[in-house]
Amino acid sequence: MTTRTQNTMWGGRFAAGPDAIMEAINASIGFDRRLYAQDIAGSRAHAAMLAATGIITDKDAEAIREGLLTVLSEIEAGDFPFSTELEDIHMNVEARLKELIGEPAGRLHTARSRNDQVATDFKLWVREQIDAAVEGLTALIRALLAQAEAGADWVMPGFTHLQVAQPVTWGHHMMAYVEMFGRDIGRFRDARARMNECPLGAAALAGTSFPIDREMTARALGFDRPAANSLDAVADRDFALEFLSAASICAMHLSRLAEELVIWSSAQFRFVTLSDRFSTGSSIMPQKKNPDAAELIRAKIGRILGATVGLFAVMKGLPLAYSKDMQEDKEQVFDAADNLMLALAAMEGMVRDMTANREALREAAATGFSTATDLADWLVRELNLPFREAHHVTGRLVAMAEARGCDLPDLSLDDMKSVHPGITNAVFDVLGVENSVASRTSYGGTAPQNVRAQIARWKEKLE
Q: Is beta strand 272-273 parallel, antiparallel or unpaired with respect to 163-169?
A: unpaired
Q: C-alpha dihedral over 345, 346, 352, 353, to 10 degrees?
A: 150
Mark whether 253 is an active-site residue: no
List, in order, residues 6 or more apart from 461 with CB less than 8 Å away.
182
Whole-number Å distance between alpha carbons of 363 and 446: 18
Q: Quote the strand ranges of 129-222, DSSP E.
A: 155-160, 163-169, 197-198
Let me know if 209 is a catalytic residue.
no
Q: H helices within 265-291, ranges in order?
A: none
The Cα–Cα gap between 19 and 96 comes to: 23
Residue 355, H or E segment: strand 355-356
d(CA 380, CA 375): 9
User: Could you say which of 73, 266, 275, 282 is catalytic?
Assistant: 282
Instruction: Determine which one of 113, 161, 253, 392 is catalytic.
Output: 161
Which residue type is seen at 98?
K
Q: Around Cβ 445, how many Cβ atoms within 10 Å? A: 15
Q: Give the count of beta carbons closer than 10 Å to the beta carbon of residue 462.
A: 13
136 closest CA partner among 355, 337, 356: 337
Quickly count helices (H) and strands (E) in the chain: 18, 6
b/e 130-142 (16+ beta carbons within 10 angstroms → b): beebbebbbbbbb
How far is residue 454's CA from residue 451's CA, in Å, rounded to a whole number? 5
Residue 288: how many other CB atoms lie within 10 Å:
11
Contact 313, 242 (CB under 8 A): no
Residue 183 Cα to chain centre, angstroms: 10
- Asked whether the CA dihedral 224, 226, 228, 232 is positive or negative, the reply is positive
Spell out the SS3 assignment of 8-20: CCCHHHCCCCCEH
Q: Which residues are catalytic?
A: 161, 282
